[in-house]
Structure 1
């Protein structure tokens, strides 16, 4: 269970005097696109606690070095100190793997397994090998430590150091015993029949082998994998069963290649990249090894309720619809199992590869059979906070006690927390309402949940405590915004990373008010931002709601100039499923600063959480199903009309820009709604969804070979003929996410269409996320030039 809870909050930084030499002055692209650590400062990150709950560790870089270093804040002395490399090597690694009494904790560090006492904090190294050991766990009786080495499970007894191998997985196939055939068999049989001494010696040898074999220790069953890969090896708490997944890679799935032109060698070097959506998927099986019976059983999936359900979208394809077989078994992946402490109950999470089903099921390891506990079906795709959007995700799930599990579901349209009795099947909603539970941690004593929800406002995230049986929630954070919180090991303190929409993240510490004190006062630990950065009055954008064409409320941030020039720019965030119209420091900090610069020049800037953005529930999340560039685009065009109506913007002077998904929306805006946007900058954009990766794209558009209509509607390259106004495209040439090939293909399409109102800027040494300040500067100077000249 992760102990880090993410959300955002208010941090107030007051600096009384800033020298003129440190003043930022009027914003320019050259100033704001500098290396941020050299002039903004570096926020603390990767927060953790010492085992005794007296020191907070974090990565930080107040000295503007090439990379961050580890620092520690001592709660007793109230001092921050840099942790020396020699000391850093001795610090325990992170994990939440405890024995039942919570007196010992396991962790992996540098490929070896360690055990630390939570009472005297002494550390014992249990392994010291060249080969990596991983995934340490306590056995059910806490007497052994189980871990993975290579393909196999091992256990070690800390008391005496006895190392035992629990599985014997082997690649390839077992060689058949060599028995003589034909004339060789005749000669052997004839020799044994003819010579009595040969016969007696063979009988003695065979008898000796039986005795030797009987005296040997019981080794695990040899399990040959053929060409399959093994993963998810796990032993039950009672040590009776081992579960594992076998995966057959699909060798026909073709990977893409990204050429790298600027290299140390002077030669073009190929980067092996991902497959494209619709590529043949790997097949997986889930197995149970019964140690006592020395047998293996494959878990059957044919009886899973709804395993053969046909997706609704096939109605648009009569041939595919009629070809669907009633007894078809959709491909699934089984995740888990999750065991009760008494070994009596095991639960697995089964996900369909088409993304439309998640089953939570009880596993009977004795018979390798499944029983349904909960099914969530979504004709779009399963996803949301605590649920996960991909087949390999188990989501948030665990045992509260030996009979009750907790998990999250979007059953109501919003991700909420539920408990379920695996014996009786009774399900209980622990939270409900028109908000999302965005993170969950069960306390160590399993009596309480720590939650993060956005029930106060979609643009705020707050930290709560609630009984494990549900009921009222105690709100711990009070200030506007959001927080990232790390609980101390004794759960009496909170390390809080906080920010405002115009102030970068800082570290605070506060008492957990439900532990030893009712105080909710927080103490600021770090001050990271530079005087130069603080000298500029960075704006708090106004968070507003805009009524969409279909009546839905779109949350947005609007940046208002003191004196409008009648022009506006819409910034479109990336990722699709991401939130940016909120009240904390944005990950798009460069774009935030660029928007401030545009406002200084008189532009009004709008930043919307369009359809498919996170934080607003299932219907908003899946609003782009089978049509990307549909409601997500109309939300932005509705925003443009709102600007005209409410801010007096000239409708012929509206620009749009964004990266990745934002670049895609920019293209779709210029191609399909050309009268709305006079100019647009599409950065690292997807131009054809059939060229993107499978996990993300297949959820939203299904597969191109089965839902070609969705890809035709959603891919800008098919709409390029609609370009009327001015387009700038910028793309890194070693982008292994959205490949440079995307923008090259679109360029050729625009050439063949005779379009001459576009340009392409290529960045030979940049991946999807730019690194070099020179690249950022060049890109945003081009964007500014586009808006200044074309709006």
Structure 2
């Protein structure tokens, strides 16, 4: 009996081990990602820096749980949510000596005294009070509804500073004329009710002529506030200067006459098709904002003057291809519309900096605001005939910028071709570049004492990020982290420790703790991957570079096959998002594709994954190399990558396929149409087929707008090249995709039908959005991709 049990256990153990080392299959790798193990996320320190909290799920439960560690004890402990969540670091606004802090909690304002460790609740209302700040006079200001209020901490007196009023200054908006039915009802009310006769008579003679309001006579010491009318516009960006002298704000006119799309949802609980409201398409009208300054001392309001911005009337270069339109714009000679961010005031409230971007996103200005006049003087201008972008720089938000002291303002710029850190002296006009080189500052944080910048940068290699520090006056960079891979940092409030989310090419992210100093050792805290995941020897792809046809370096990952198929086939994986980096030494967000590439290599394919032109991490020229021609350099980089595989890895040039999703799907279509001699088959997933049908924010930067640059759209959209399809094409798309709409794939399918093409197929996924959720959908999609390659690249 004992022998039988031993034999049974041995067999069971062998079976389990055999299961773990069994060959990769699509079904296996496309399961719920919990099988891999779940990495820790959402790192945050308590305000005293004694505890780090994070979300984790080592036991693969339905929901992740809250864990905590301390720098002195790095063993993760489950936290008690209700108690421990109260200790989490809050985003305090500090006074000058950091002894007091203001914070909003659940719509009320609290004052924290860090010396006495006492907290005082300053507001307790049903409405939300937000954005508290300290003023130079020792009082605080906060926003309630649309308006700014000032609270005197000594007397507890609250004073209203602004009086924003919806509507127009001329009075109430006239009532609509109405229908005959409305007139009849109004006459009936007057006929039936004496109160209406009385009120109508009072209205004809000026109402309450005695001067009393609804609640009696106004108090003698009540001071009226100037009404700031918002008309029919949206009020936003309300900011008070630290001395309380000025309040700046924006009024935004919502875009008119736009057409919002709808996405039909077919598989619903109701049994009826339900429409999901969608986005607008590129080229639709945009919101227009204007900035205003309210002088609280003079009780006056004036509009911020965009005419004083240098280059505000400049016409983008691409109009040279459209002479008639260019001539019309020259005659109009109008200011380009802009977006404002700020102002950001220095500590003593003497100077406000506004960051402005043109709506065409070809200019970014850092401007000194003369709040007494609403005029600007230039601190820095970054101009790009393609579009403004790069790490720490954006047309959609302020970017990485702020005050070091009352005279110096820091910001990031791609002036040298790579995003670097700059400091401008507002008083003297001098500018200083703190970092330099053919690498990028990906984020920057000013230390609490404002003596040091902490930066994340890819100085060593485009695909390796590390944490550095540099003095605000410049000097040498000091490297704090040293692990080869991706190091994402969460700095403790006292700046003594860093939490590191570290990953490597074949190792998902884990939490490490390290002292925030050069030479300190990083200590590993979590171990998240499963035994099943660890049982397979995941490849470390070859990190390679090749020269593209334009002489630029292109970085790539190559997954070698130890047992190449006799046909020596190859597959090109094309990452999505366009401006994204996937050729790095860290764990990829495309983890399913990473595993699929391993599966392909196991089955005799050589796989290459390219950071093509337009990808992030490589500076301005690489970023904007696709301007006005998507499917240009980004596509030829794939072709040049195949040539590299043929020359260096012995790939058969007649047996090459490719696949990718979103932007990768778009490139796959362009490759199958315009490089049909290079690619025998392709799988295009959730693909953009016509850029005129994508969104505005992304597309207009790269291609301008369809009505003003149709040339760019026609040469960049696959639907115009569908007649060139020769190889075998698989397309796959979610039917409730609210990003790249299902309409995209339907329109190009109709083109294929009308063209008489029969070498294509479409797989649809009725319940999937842009990013698939269901493992069954992932499995079905990738089984089709694998079958496509097996049938076209090996035979």
TM-score w.r.t. length of structure 1: 0.91
Deviations 1:252-274 (A, max 9, x none): 11111111111122211111111
Q: Is the 1:684–1:738 contact (alpha carbons within 8 Å) kept by the matching residues of 2?
A: yes
Moved more, 96-105 or 322-331: 96-105
User: Which residue is equivalent to 2:531?
Assistant: 531
User: Which residue is equivalent to 2:81?
Assistant: 85
Q: 2:258 aligns with which of 253, 271, 286?
A: 253
CA 1:751/1:123 → structure 2, altered by over 3 Å: closer, same or farther?
farther
Q: 2:322 aligns with which of 307, 317, 336?
A: 317
Kindly state the Cα deviation for residue 648 of structure 1 after the two structures are TM-superposed: 1.4
CA 1:232/1:786 → structure 2, altered by over 3 Å: closer, same or farther?
same
Q: What is the number of residues matched between the two proteins? A: 748
Structure-1 separation of matches of 2:154 and 2:759: 75
Q: Does 1:32 align with 2:34?
A: no
Structure-2 separation of matches of 1:214 and 1:278: 55
Q: Is the 2:732–2:781 contact (alpha carbons within 8 Å) kept by the matching residues of 1?
A: yes
Structure-2 separation of matches of 1:402 and 1:637: 53
Q: 2:769 aligns with which of 763, 767, 770?
A: 767
User: Which residue is equivalent to 2:165?
Assistant: 170
Q: Is the 2:53–2:88 contact (alpha carbons within 8 Å) kept by the matching residues of 1?
A: no
Kindly state the Cα deviation for residue 75 of structure 1 after the two structures are TM-superposed: 3.0
Kindly state the Cα deviation for residue 151 of structure 1 after the two structures are TM-superposed: 2.3
After superposition, residues 295-310 of structure 1 pair within 5 angstroms as 295-310=300-315
User: Which residue is equivalent to 1:454?
Assistant: 458
Moved more, 686-695 or 219-228: 219-228
CA 1:751/1:122 → structure 2, altered by over 3 Å: closer, same or farther?
farther
CA 1:18/1:157 → structure 2, altered by over 3 Å: closer, same or farther?
farther
SS at match of 1:379: coil
Q: 1:234 aligns with which of 209, 220, 239?
A: 239
Structure-2 separation of matches of 1:387 and 1:347: 16
Superposed CA RMSD: 2.5
Structure-1 separation of matches of 2:89 and 2:232: 34
SS at match of 2:326: helix
User: Which residue is equivalent to 2:187?
Assistant: none
Q: Does 1:101 align with 2:97?
A: yes
Kindly state the Cα deviation for residue 128 of structure 1 after the two structures are TM-superposed: 4.1
User: Which residue is equivalent to 2:606?
Assistant: 604
User: Which residue is equivalent to 1:372?
Assistant: 378
After superposition, residues 369-448 of structure 1 pair within 5 angstroms as 369-388=375-394, 390=395, 392-448=396-452
Structure-2 separation of matches of 1:688 and 1:99: 52
Q: Is the 1:24–1:533 contact (alpha carbons within 8 Å) kept by the matching residues of 2?
A: no
CA 1:540/1:113 → structure 2, altered by over 3 Å: closer, same or farther?
farther
Moved more, 256-265 or 590-599: 256-265
SS at match of 1:247: strand
Structure-2 separation of matches of 1:78 and 1:19: 33
User: Which residue is equivalent to 1:72?
Assistant: 68
Contiguous gaps of at least 5 residues in structure 2: 1-13, 174-200
After superposition, residues 647-658 of structure 1 pair within 5 angstroms as 647-658=649-660
SS at match of 1:324: helix
CA 1:88/1:743 → structure 2, altered by over 3 Å: closer, same or farther?
farther
Q: Does 1:151 align with 2:151?
A: no
Deviations 1:10-30 (A, max 9, x none): xxxxxxx99727725211111
Kindly state the Cα deviation for residue 612 of structure 1 after the two structures are TM-superposed: 0.5
SS at match of 2:324: helix
Deviations 1:6-56 (A, max 9, x none): xxxxxxxxxxx997277252111111111112x111111111101111111
The structure showing larger relative contact order (alpha-carbon pairs under 8 Å, at least 6 residues apart) is 1
Kindly state the Cα deviation for residue 157 of structure 1 after the two structures are TM-superposed: 5.0
Structure-2 separation of matches of 1:594 and 1:438: 30
CA 1:55/1:569 → structure 2, altered by over 3 Å: closer, same or farther?
same
Moved more, 132-141 or 369-378: 132-141
Kindly state the Cα deviation for residue 123 of structure 1 after the two structures are TM-superposed: 4.4
Structure-2 separation of matches of 1:330 and 1:50: 45
CA 1:157/1:273 → structure 2, altered by over 3 Å: closer, same or farther?
farther
Deviations 1:577-605 (A, max 9, x none): 00011100010000000001101111100
Kindly state the Cα deviation for residue 325 of structure 1 after the two structures are TM-superposed: 2.6
After superposition, residues 140-289 of structure 1 pair within 5 angstroms as 140-144=136-140, 146-156=141-151, 162-174=157-169, 176=171, 212=218, 214-216=220-222, 218-289=223-294
SS at match of 1:687: coil
User: Which residue is equivalent to 1:9?
Assistant: none
Q: Is the 2:45–2:88 contact (alpha carbons within 8 Å) kept by the matching residues of 1?
A: no
CA 1:177/1:607 → structure 2, altered by over 3 Å: closer, same or farther?
closer
Structure-1 separation of matches of 2:238 and 2:280: 27
Q: Does 1:554 align with 2:550?
A: no
Q: 1:469 aligns with which of 473, 494, 501?
A: 473
User: Which residue is equivalent to 1:512?
Assistant: 516
Deviations 1:675-722 (A, max 9, x none): 111111111010000001101100000010000000000000001011
Deviations 1:163-208 (A, max 9, x none): 4433222222246399xxxxxxxx99xx99xxxxxxxx98x9699x
User: Which residue is equivalent to 1:182?
Assistant: none
